[in-house]
A = this chain, B = another copy of it.
Amino acid sequence: MTKQTRASAAVARNENEIAHWERSTDVLIVGLGGAGVCAALEASRLGADVLVLERTAAGGGTTALSGGLIYCGGGTSVQKACGFEDSPEEMFKYLMAACGPGPDETKIRLYSENSVEHFDWLVAQGVPFRGTFHPESGTEPPTQDGLIFSGSENAYPFSEIAKPAARGHHPAKEGAAGGFFMQKLLAALHKTNVTVQCNASCQSLVIDRDGAVVGAIVRIDQKEIAIRARRGVILAAGGFVNNKEMLRRYAPELLRCRFRVGCEGDDGSGIRMGLGAGADAIRMHAGSISLPYYPPKQLKKGILINRQGQRFINEDVYYGRAGEYALLRQEGKAYLIVDDEIYAKPLGGMELVAVGETASEIETTLGLAPGSLQSTLDFYNTHAARGEDPLFHKGKTELKPLTQAPLGALDLTCEKAIYAVFTLGGLRTAIDGEVFNPDGRMIPGLYAAGRTTSGLCAQGYSSGLSIADATYFGRRAGMAAAKNDTKKS
């Protein structure tokens, strides 16, 4: 029926080439990760006949491989139980400052206003959360604690822009909870009459003569069939961090990072199918870039320096922000300078590559200009002793002079350290998942969610935002597709 290979996902097929629709459904969902499962739950709730295609043998997607943090706020029950005051407005202000440059204000506004409802919905689907706060930020709690700081809320300049509140919600499961989270959502899905077809690889979309999406070509058991979607197709097939050719083309800086956060399916097929049906893609160079130089949190008391021995950021920010600055602004060349008092091996495994009684010895070992690190340390230590950081405004609790010899340097260069990346660019969508074409018109019958789209984060990332975006806007896409009656059925 088709000569297209699996790698060729983009070009849409014309309806008049389809001799036979082997199956049909109201809503066809491509991908059973965090976005797909939520889309399916909501479309089904509204009475739609739903078929989910999953390329692997079981659902889960990258969400199941993740730490499972979900960024929620505005006053969730867990936030209240932990004693945090929050409001949609404060959440909005934080996200607008942290998700740029050029964040999607409409989506951020909407999610900030509806985040409590979304959190309650996740709970109603069976995802448990405890009302306990875990004080160590920057990674999923090793406990079942339900809340952590997962962004830069407490750090400059965000702490001055919006009232800080912890918003990283962690399902009641020790450590990485993404698998647990997806298990609960998939269990909820199994109670519906949604059909899940595993080992089914969507090859391309099918469009009618007006450009509306009316179905898809799907490979199941070595055979390609056409599946008709009466109300809409939802692309929820992940990002493209595992497609090197796409990274080279759109986001070459991410290609330098060896640790790619994604499942096999994050090969960009969803984005390419969208493009092939006339969609617009935006922010294709953007990525989340995590550089976990802490925990342990005492390492925030060190200083991050570049090849000039200069500091370049307040070290108490979310390490995803620090990673972005290190990779994109410092060519991925950075070190964390510590003294003996605070030294510890970071969980991220960065190597200690220089040890010395003086800054000068560190400079020599690292090949920094003589006096450069010394000058930086002199300035930093003088002010840190007074609890001040006039250059980058690191918080008082993380400030201490680095004076207890020996000093050490942890290697944070891109080729040596973990820079954990995934893509943030993708199809441009409206708030209900409708996919825009480059003219700004919506493509009838086409929806998308999760990392197949550009979502809440244009560029800057805080942990838990990708799952929040995928699940919340996945739900909206599911509802919108279920209600879409613009097409003849």
Q: Which residues of A contact B (CB under 8 A)?
A: 7-11, 14, 100-102, 209, 211, 245, 248-250, 252-253, 255, 271-272, 275-276, 278, 280-286, 308-311, 328-329, 369-372, 375, 378-379, 390-392, 428, 437-441, 458
Contacts and interface: CB of A to CB of B under 8 A. Distances in A.
Contacts of A271: 438
A390 B372 contact: yes
Contacts of A329: 328-329
Contact of A276 (B282, B378, B438): B438
A438 B7 CA distance: 11
Nearest to A255: B102
Which 10 pairs across A and B sit closest by C-beta, in order of nearness? A102-B252, A369-B390, A10-B438, A329-B329, A10-B439, A275-B438, A308-B391, A8-B439, A272-B438, A101-B252
Centre residue among A308, A439, A440 by max chain B CB count within 10 A:
A439
Contacts of A391: 308-310, 369, 372
10 contacts: A8-B439, A8-B441, A10-B278, A10-B439, A11-B278, A101-B253, A102-B252, A249-B280, A272-B439, A285-B285
B285 A437 contact: no
Contacts of A440: 245
Contacts of A253: 101-102
A437 B11 contact: yes
A105 to B, nearest CB: 10
B249 A428 contact: yes
A252 to B, nearest CB: 3
Contacts of A282: 249-250, 284
Contacts of A275: 278, 280, 437-438
* Residue of A245, A308, A370 most packed against chain B (CB within 10 A): A308
Contacts of A392: 308
Given A275-B280, A285-B286, 4 more contacts: A272-B438, A276-B278, A285-B285, A310-B310
A10 B14 CA distance: 19
Nearest to A17: B209
A375 B278 CA distance: 55
A453 to B, nearest CB: 13
A225 to B, nearest CB: 21
Nearest to A277: B278
Max count, chain B CB within 10 A of own CB: residue among A249, A271, A278? A249
A437 B276 contact: yes
A209 B7 CA distance: 22
Contacts of A11: 211, 278, 437, 439, 441
Contacts of A437: 10-11, 275-276
A474 to B, nearest CB: 22
A109 to B, nearest CB: 16
Contacts of A101: 252-253
Given A10-B438, A278-B276, A371 B375 contact: no
B370 A390 contact: yes
B375 A379 contact: yes
Contacts of A249: 280, 282, 428
A458 B369 CA distance: 31
A311 B282 CA distance: 33
Contacts of A428: 249
Nearest to A4: B439
A100 B375 contact: no
Nearest to A454: B249
Contacts of A309: 391
A100 B252 contact: yes
A102 B248 contact: yes
A328 B324 CA distance: 12
